[in-house]
Amino acid sequence: MASQSPDRTVDDIESFREHEDKKFDPELPDYEAPHADPFGNEEFSEVKYKVMEWWQCGMIMVAETISLGILSLPSAVAALGLVPAIILIIGLGLLATYTGYVIGQFKLRYPHVHSMADAGEIMLGRFGRELLGNAQLLFLIFIMGSHLLTFTVMMNTITDHGTCSIVFGVVGLIVSFFCALPRTMLKVSWMSIGSFISIVAALLITMIAISIEHPGKGVDATVETNLYNGFLAVTNIVFAYAGHVAFFGFISELKRAEDYPKTLYMLQSVDTSMYLIAAVVIYYYGGRDVASPALGSTGPIVRKVAYGIAIPTIVISGVINGHVAAKYIYVRLFRGTDRMHKRSFVSVGSWIGIALTLWIIAWVIAEAIPVFNNLLSLITALFASWFTYGMSGIFWLFMNRGKWFSSPRKIILTAINVVIFGIGACLCGLGLYVSGKAIHDSPSNASFSCASNT
């Protein structure tokens, strides 16, 4: 293969094969790739990771993304008004498609990248690895916590607060931990199919029931709002597209990495259309006081049925994020060795220990911030703002350094990616303000409380 200059861009995402053998860029300063592939040669391995077909990966991405985020969208529409919310859902969806595309380009350019930490090391050396690696891990743990929080809301709803909410949280922890025990994405992909069917069924029941009951007191095309309430709603829409943090890991376990564009387009077409339909329909019939999570917008009986059907999504979507978090630590510990591919006591025991520790930390977070929308806003501000939007702008600028103004097309793309970086920074700064204020001002549900959080 001909050598490539360090500032060459992979403009065509279909050209995976041309770049598959490129281990790392030797001309980048202070950087060495320890292994070209995070899983090495798996021909004779006991446990194989790179075995997913594109549609299996697509189902995982759909299950990871279309979960809790969609449940907060109707209340976001109520806070913003119908027209602005529709524009934001579609616009942020298109932007998330582009930023996902850039992540794919970065993976093509540096095939050894398995996580945001690897990407950070390419750009900023060891400091970048620790910065992005720890941020990715914290983001995933917070998402796991949000799923445990939703599990307690679900159990309180179904059982009419049958026992202490902390007990329900512990039950959710145990169930999620056992579902997270498989070490390969392929096994998780089969669970993701059930997760997708679950959320679709729960949303259909909710939409049908709320259209019949029609509890809403009216809808607004636009509303008068303030920075605090409006931006809190925007962060909930951003969170609905916050699956990008796991994309490097998903691509790494594809059987054919060149199939990634199919998974990306499958994800973005499904999630944007589902978000738009669910948000508009539930808001239209639920009105200004629509609940968040949205499954709570119907009558008591239908609400219990919807939550019961949504149990696989509530659990499995969290499990997928927990799997990515555990895999990051696991790969970092055993990269370059054959332990990842063994079924030995050390290999299996390490995976179990990592998963259990992460789920316990997630449970603590869920108990400490027991308000659904406030937790989503905090997660979005700290992490989704960068991993879904801002970092992709940085990735593109890094790959094209020295050529930002080399042609009219490059000038336009440079401007677009600078704006994307700015969007990430804005979401982070303002998001931290509104989410911090919301958590501080919340009058309900003290931390580590037995009280119902429905």
- Contact between 235 and 27 under an 8 Å Cβ cutoff? The reply is no
* Predicted pLDDT at 13: 38
- Contact between 303 and 295 under an 8 Å Cβ cutoff? The reply is yes
Q: In this model, does residue 103 exceed pLDDT 60?
A: yes
Q: In this model, does residue 343 exceed pLDDT 90?
A: no
Distance of CA 295 to the CA centre of its chain: 20
* Nearest in space to 385 (alpha carbons), one of 225, 231, 265: 231
What are 361's two structure tokens? 């930390």
Largest CA distance in the chain: 67
Enumerate long-range contacts of 302-307, CB under 8 Å, 24 or more apart.
302/205, 302/206, 302/209, 302/213, 303/157, 304/157, 304/158, 305/205, 306/202, 306/205, 306/206, 306/209, 307/153, 307/154, 307/157, 307/158, 307/202
* Predicted pLDDT at 9: 43
Q: In this model, does residue 168 exceed pLDDT 80?
A: yes
> 15 in a domain, yes or no?
no
> 134 in a domain, yes or no?
yes
pLDDT band for 443, please (50, 70, 90 cuts): low
pLDDT band for 377, please (50, 70, 90 cuts): confident
- Contact between 92 and 424 under an 8 Å Cβ cutoff? The reply is no
What are 179's two structure tokens? 């579902």
> 271 in a domain, yes or no?
yes
pLDDT band for 27, please (50, 70, 90 cuts): very low
Q: In this model, does residue 25 exceed pLDDT 60?
A: no
What are 196's two structure tokens? 């997708």
* Predicted pLDDT at 444: 56
Average of per-residue pLDDT values in the chain: 84
* Predicted pLDDT at 446: 64
> 7 in a domain, yes or no?
no
- Give the list of residues 6+ apart from residue 120 with CB closer than 8 angstroms, or none: 127, 128, 129, 130, 131, 132, 133
Instruction: Please give the Cα distance from 173 to 158 (Å, whole number).
Output: 18
Rounded to two decimals, what is the model's pTM?
0.84
pLDDT band for 36, please (50, 70, 90 cuts): low
What average pLDDT does the segment 131-140 reach? 92
The phi-psi region of residue 161 (left if phi > 0; otherwise alpha if psi is between -120 and 50; otherwise beta) is left
Which phi and psi (to 5°) does residue 254 adopt? -75, 140
**Which helix (H) or strand (E) covers residue 208, if one does?**
helix 185-213
> 355 in a domain, yes or no?
yes
Instruction: Please give the Cα distance from 402 to 9 (Å, whole number).
Output: 11
* Predicted pLDDT at 12: 40
What are 134's two structure tokens? 């720890």
Domain with 351, as residue range(s), is 48-441
Percent of the chain with pLDDT over 90: 41
How buried is 129 (Cβ within 10 angstroms: 0-12 exposed, 13-18 middle, 19+ buried)?
Answer: buried
What average pLDDT does the segment 305-327 reach? 91
Q: In this model, does residue 171 exceed pLDDT 90?
A: yes
> 164 in a domain, yes or no?
yes
Residue 408 CB neighbours (<10 A)? 8
Q: In this model, does residue 26 exceed pLDDT 50?
A: no
> 101 in a domain, yes or no?
yes
Low-confidence winner among 7-16, 203-212, 278-287, 319-328 (lowest mean pLDDT): 7-16
Q: In this model, does residue 282 exceed pLDDT 50?
A: yes
- Helices 54-65, 260-286: axis angle to 10 degrees equals 30
| Residue that the structure tokens 């376990």 belong to | 253
pLDDT tens for 237-255 read 888 898 899 999 999 989 8
Residue 161 CB neighbours (<10 A)? 16
Q: What is the dihedral of CA 296, 302, 308, 314, to 10 degrees?
A: -30
Q: In this model, does residue 222 exceed pLDDT 80?
A: no
pLDDT tens for 42-60 read 677 778 888 899 999 999 9
Instruction: Encode 147-170 in three state secondary structure.
Output: HHHHHHHHHHHHHCCCCCHHHHHH
- Give the list of residues 6+ apart from residue 123 with CB closer than 8 angstroms, or none: 394, 398
> 427 in a domain, yes or no?
yes
- Contact between 307 and 202 under an 8 Å Cβ cutoff? The reply is yes
Q: Give how many domains the chain has, as a whole number.
A: 1
Instruction: Please give the Cα distance from 327 to 180 (Å, whole number).
Output: 11
pLDDT tens for 73-91 read 998 898 898 999 999 999 9
DSSP letters along 103-149, please?
Answer: HHHHHHHSTT--SHHHHHHHHHHHHHHHHHHHHHHHHHHHHHHHHHH
What are 243's two structure tokens? 């699956």
pLDDT band for 34, please (50, 70, 90 cuts): very low
Stated length of the chain: 454
What average pLDDT does the segment 315-330 reach? 93
- Contact between 294 and 278 under an 8 Å Cβ cutoff? The reply is yes
- Contact between 319 and 348 under an 8 Å Cβ cutoff? The reply is no
pLDDT band for 16, please (50, 70, 90 cuts): very low
Instruction: Please give the Cα distance from 86 to 284 (Å, whole number).
Output: 12
Q: Which residues of 304-322 are buried (b: 16+ CB within 10 A; e: fewer)?
A: bbbbebbbbbbbbbbbbbb
What CATH number is attached to the domain comprising 198? 1.20.1740.10
